[in-house]
């Protein structure tokens, strides 16, 4: 949203190497499906505050998410029900 100039967002590959740098542009939108395999970071130029709007779309359709992300449903279901950190 603001300011006009600042630093952008860095997307990484699964092996933690820089995959793409999205340059900051005022009023630009960046959409992605966040999983354990979508590491990213952001920073500010330390001159002006980076004002952003973050929108997290949530769902209770765990099976649908597992299908879209090609993950093993029983593992995700068990992990979510018992709140275990299985990593």
State the DSSP code for 10. Answer: E
Domain definitions of the chain by residue range: 1-56, 58-87
pLDDT in tens, 34-72: 776 788 999 899 999 989 998 888 888 888 888 887 888
Residue 87: pLDDT over 60: no
Q: Residue 12: count other Cβ atoms within 10 Å of its Cβ.
A: 15
pLDDT at res. 8: 93
State the DSSP code for 30. Answer: -
């Amino acid at each position: 949203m603001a300011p006009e100039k600042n630093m952008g967002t860095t997307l990484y590959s699964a092996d933690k190497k820089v995959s793409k740098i999205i340059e900051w542009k005022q009023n630009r939108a960046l959409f992605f499906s966040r999983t354990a395999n979508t590491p990213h970071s952001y920073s500010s130029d330390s001159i002006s505050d980076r004002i952003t709007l973050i929108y997290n779309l949530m769902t209770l359709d765990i099976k649908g998410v597992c299908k879209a992300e090609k993950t093993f449903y029983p593992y995700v279901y068990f992990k979510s029900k018992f709140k275990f950190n299985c990593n």
